[in-house]
Amino acid sequence: MNIARWMPGVGTLATYKASFLPRDLAAGLTLGAVMVPVGLAYGELAGLPLAGLYGSMLPLLAYALFGSSRQLIVGPDTAMAALVAVVVVPLAPGDPGRLALLAAGLGVMVGLLCLLGGVLRLGFIANFLSKPVIVGFMHGLALVIVVAQLPKVLGLKSDGETTLEQVVSLLHRLADTNFISLAIGAGTFATILLCRRFTPRVPGAVLALAASGLAVVLLGLDKQGVAVVGRIPTGLPGLSLPVPTLADFEALLPVAFVAALLSFSDTVVTARAFAARNRYRIDPNQELLAIGAANLVSGLSQGLPISASDSRTAVAEAAGGRTQVTSAIAAVVVAAVMLWLAGFLYYLPSAALGGLLIASAWGLCDTAEFRRLWRFRGISLAGALVTMAGVVALGVMEGILIGVVFSLVLLLRALAFPPDAVLGRTPGGSWHDTAHRPDAVPVPGLLVYRFSAPLFFANCMLFRDRITALIETSPTSVLAVVVDGGAIHDVDLMGCETLAELEQELRERGIRLAFGNLRDRVKRDIERGLDLGPENDDITFPSVADAVAAVRPA
């Protein structure tokens, strides 16, 4: 029971039925056939072809044991490979061995961070990346990937460190385009999208790459300027602990935090979607442990950092997979290819892998999300666009940081300038916003005010100034102020000090201050902050009506 709690996959095996095996076997074989070219493509994107394949074996087994989702498939994905390509590759210019060490080290660091988060029950951090930041990041990342893969598809070389510089370089060399490579890349892209749209059970990536490789062999396209993958070493990865230097560790740590957050967020979103469709629930904290274990073993086996894959999960589900056994079979298929069939990958054209990655980038895009953000709130769209522009113009890390800072500024602005209202009494005796209820009438000599936010250092002066202004502009002389505290769910020391100053100021003017509908903890904080004595212990009341009855002018 205890083992099954920490390793749900063991519980699945304990209750596994023989009737499940045919469907899981078929799904695993299909998934393994997809993961070989996809893993190779993501490895190419990161500058480490083998690392993409190594990350498609042991991590699947680790997640199958520790994950709470019965269907989720993990492995190298677009975001993780792009992070390595954009952030880690510049740390090891022209040194494949150092790049492999840093990429594996990043995977281990991501794994340890996720494992620590799982032990500390930090599953709630999946909500820390706001929707606009995620939308902007994904679309910006898609543009970065497309620009990075266009040289392979066009048969060109490009220069430049930033995406904009690479675009300029490509534009200057378009006249040298290899149209055979372009046809291969465009055909791969179209085949994958058409299969995804009309025949989701058919693995479009496998079909397109097999056809393009066959064309290279039969037509001798490699002798006509079409670049191919070339020889891939056979064999399985060994297990070793990558030990980066202290300087490398400091450089990788912020990348690891971002990668861990993205990997976990993507895993939870995808796992929840498939769990809801199949009527079961996942445990976010268990998912942290699972994705942490998967990243850890990926790094130890020289693989790329990994995340969930909605496309490969959909392939497995469409092929009939229903349990974690599907992942285990797919890992065995990838291992078999690495041991005995790696030679068949020699003639895969680089343009086809570029087309596959561009198709993956296309899958990251959803323009409907921009429309949703605009309809919901224009400033949300601005956050997505700012993040996307930052990713494209400055870099992945910088773009995410800009988006997060933008979101925090919007959050602080919302808290610093929260909605408020003057309340009036309805014929039924309840109190409502006079701006939205025509039958809510203010009581002469009484100001009933609602403040809809926690009262803290960023907005307490606004609270005080707003009440003072309402008193000054009231058509009748105000003799008492009642604050509806139902929406004030917290108060800090500066907020209490401001309330004390306001209470004293109003008392000197002959105006009484009272609070109604306060939460117990906030009530205690306010009473302590105002340092109420026995003669003033009736400043807080259970409801607005009670407060009004106590302070209402005769």
Residue 7 located in a structural domain: no
Give me the residues of the chain with pLDDT under 50, please.
1, 533-536
Token pair for residue 268?
Answer: 């939870």
Residue 8 located in a structural domain: no
Tell whether 340 and 195 lie within a shared domain: yes
Query: Using CA atoms, how far apart are residues 130 and 127, in angstroms rounded to an integer?
Result: 7
Tell whether 312 and 458 lie within a shared domain: no
Token pair for residue 113?
Answer: 């961070």
Tell whether 123 and 246 lie within a shared domain: yes
Tell whether 157 and 260 lie within a shared domain: yes
Residue 296 located in a structural domain: yes
> Residue 206: what pLDDT?
79
Residue 13 located in a structural domain: no
DSSP 273: H
> Residue 465: what pLDDT?
94
Residue 4 located in a structural domain: no
Tell whether 168 and 97 lie within a shared domain: yes
Which residues lie below 8 Å from residue 233, measured CB to CB, with a gap of 6+? 50, 342
Domain boundary among 362, 378, 410: 410
> Residue 57: what pLDDT?
92
Residue 81 located in a structural domain: yes
> Residue 531: what pLDDT?
64
Strands 512-516 and 480-484: parallel
> Residue 157: what pLDDT?
80
456-to-83, 105, 450, 470, 516 alpha-carbon distances in Å: 38, 42, 15, 20, 19
Q: For residue 499, what are the domain limits?
A: 420-551
> Residue 161: what pLDDT?
65
Q: Provide the number of structural domains found in the chain.
A: 2
> Residue 313: what pLDDT?
77
Q: Tens of pLDDT along 73-88?
A: 898 887 788 888 888 8
> Residue 318: what pLDDT?
66
> Residue 108: what pLDDT?
94
Domain boundary among 363, 388, 410: 410
Is residue 152 within 8 Å of 185, Cβ to Cβ? Answer: yes
Q: Is 500 exposed, middle or buried (0-12, 13-18, 19+ CB in 10 A)?
A: middle
Q: Output Rg (C-alpha) for the chain, integer angstroms.
A: 30
> Residue 101: what pLDDT?
92
> Residue 126: what pLDDT?
62
